[in-house]
C-alpha cells in the first residue's frame, strides 16, 4: 500500500508548512493526484487520517482530485487524454511522446486555522 507513504509525505510537508506559519489546525486539504500514480483515493484518505493523529492535520478532510494522463506526440502534434495504457500516440502510433499530465502529487489548497 503505497498510499501510506504518500500520506506520510503529504502530512510531513503540511506539518513543516504549519510550523513555519504557526497554524493551529488544518481543516481541509485538496490534493491533485495523477492517474499514473495509481492511488486509491479512499485508501489515501484513510492513511492520511492515520498519519495525522497528534498533528495539525488530525481530523482534517482530505479531497483527492484525480488528473488524467495527457501525452503530446512530438511526431504529429496530437494530444491524447484519458486512460492511456501504452506510451504511444493514438493518432500516428509514434512512441515519441511527452507526458504532460499523470504523475502529479501536489497540494492544491488547504483550509487552516491560525493560532
Q: Mean of the pLDDT values across residues 84-92?
A: 81
Q: Mean of the pLDDT values across residues 60-82?
A: 93
Task: Give the span between the Cα atoms of 5 and 63, in whole angstroms.
Answer: 17
Residue 96 within any structural domain of the chain: no
Residue 88 within any structural domain of the chain: no
Q: Which residue has the higher pLDDT, 25 or 86?
A: 25
Range of the domain at 53: 2-67+101-114
Counting residues of the chain whose pLDDT is more than 90, the rounded percentage is 80
The pLDDT-based confidence of 85 (bands split at 50, 70, 90) is low
Residue 86 within any structural domain of the chain: no
Residue 72 within any structural domain of the chain: no
pLDDT per position as a tens digit, 12-41: 999 999 999 988 899 999 999 999 999 999
pLDDT over 70 (residue 99):
yes
Task: Give the span between the Cα atoms of 95 and 90, in whole angstroms.
Answer: 10
The pLDDT-based confidence of 84 (bands split at 50, 70, 90) is low
Q: Are 104 and 17 in contact (CB under 8 A)?
A: no
pLDDT on residue 22: 87
The total number of structural domains in the chain stands at: 1
Return the closest-CA partner of residue 38 out of 85, 84, 2, 86: 2
Residue 59 within any structural domain of the chain: yes
Residue 77 within any structural domain of the chain: no
Strand arrangement of the beta sheet that strand 61-67 belongs to: 61-67, 23-34, 105-114
Mean pLDDT estimate for the chain: 92
Residue 84 within any structural domain of the chain: no
Residue 54 within any structural domain of the chain: yes
Contacts of 28 (CB under 8 A, 6+ apart): 60, 61, 62, 63, 110, 111
Task: Give the span between the Cα atoms of 79 and 66, in whole angstroms.
Answer: 19
CATH of the domain at 62: 3.30.2320.50
Amino acid at each position: 500500500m503505497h498510499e501510506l507513504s504518500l500520506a506520510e509525505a503529504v502530512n510531513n510537508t503540511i506539518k513543516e508548512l504549519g510550523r513555519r506559519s504557526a497554524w493551529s489546525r488544518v481543516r481541509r486539504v485538496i490534493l491533485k493526484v495523477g492517474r499514473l500514480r495509481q492511488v486509491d483515493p479512499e485508501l489515501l484518505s484513510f492513511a492520511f487520517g492515520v498519519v495525522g493523529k497528534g498533528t495539525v492535520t488530525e481530523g482534517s478532510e482530505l479531497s483527492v482530485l484525480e488528473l488524467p494522463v495527457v501525452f503530446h506526440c512530438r511526431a504529429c502534434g496530437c494530444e491524447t487524454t484519458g486512460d492511456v495504457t501504452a506510451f504511444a500516440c493514438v493518432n500516428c502510433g509514434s512512441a515519441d511522446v511527452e507526458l504532460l499530465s499523470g504523475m502529479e502529487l501536489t497540494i492544491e489548497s488547504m483550509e487552516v486555522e491560525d493560532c
